[in-house]
Amino acid sequence: MKKMIILLILFTAVGSIYSQSMSTQKVTNKPVLEIYYTHSTNRCAGCKAIEAETIETLNKQFKSQLDNGEISLHVVNIDEKENKQFVDEYEVWGSSLFMIKNGDKKSIVDLTREGFATARTKPEIFHATLAQKIKEILK
């Protein structure tokens, strides 16, 4: 009888600790911003600049968020067979730069136009635009 009471107390305590642990995990989950840069195998100078300037912006202004997983960058070659499902899902047909917060595909932020307009010839404007959008999304 004493063993059953001790086991019951032990299971109750472990269950309580587990429950508290799970509720803490739910509260501390951070929003994740996924940034996708897509391109084909043959790339122009503008395409290459978008990728390079995006990486530079993230490394200079959002390094800690990259390191802790709050932001992730995915560079996707749309011509590779292993990316076909991604290409179909997002209906990607060329170079693009877009962001998704918390996997919500309904609220995609597309920066492709801004990328082609500024990444190669006015990188400081591109950096500022990208950084501003990221900060807005992470609020």
- Domain of 126 in residue numbering reads as 33-138
pLDDT along the chain (139 residues), means of 10: 49 44 42 92 95 97 95 96 95 94 91 96 98 94
Confidence at residue 107, expressed as pLDDT on a 0 to 100 scale: 87
43 and 92 housed in the same domain? yes
49 and 90 housed in the same domain? yes
User: CATH number of the domain that 98 lies in?
Assistant: 3.40.30.10
129 and 116 housed in the same domain? yes
8 and 49 housed in the same domain? no
Main-chain phi, psi angles of 66, to 5 degrees: -65, -45
Q: Are 97 and 112 in contact (CB under 8 A)?
A: yes
20 and 39 housed in the same domain? no
Q: Are 79 and 41 in contact (CB under 8 A)?
A: yes
- Listing DSSP states for 67-102 in one string gives HHTSEEEEEEETTSGGGHHHHHHHT--S-EEEEEET
Three-class SS state of 110: strand
53 and 110 housed in the same domain? yes
- Tally the domains of the chain: 2
Three-class SS state of 58: helix
13 and 60 housed in the same domain? no
Confidence at residue 103, expressed as pLDDT on a 0 to 100 scale: 87
88 and 119 housed in the same domain? yes
Q: Give the integer Cα–Cα distance in Å for 83 and 14.
A: 44
62 and 110 housed in the same domain? yes
Three-class SS state of 103: coil
Confidence at residue 11, expressed as pLDDT on a 0 to 100 scale: 46
94 and 124 housed in the same domain? yes
Q: What is the pTM of this model?
A: 0.76
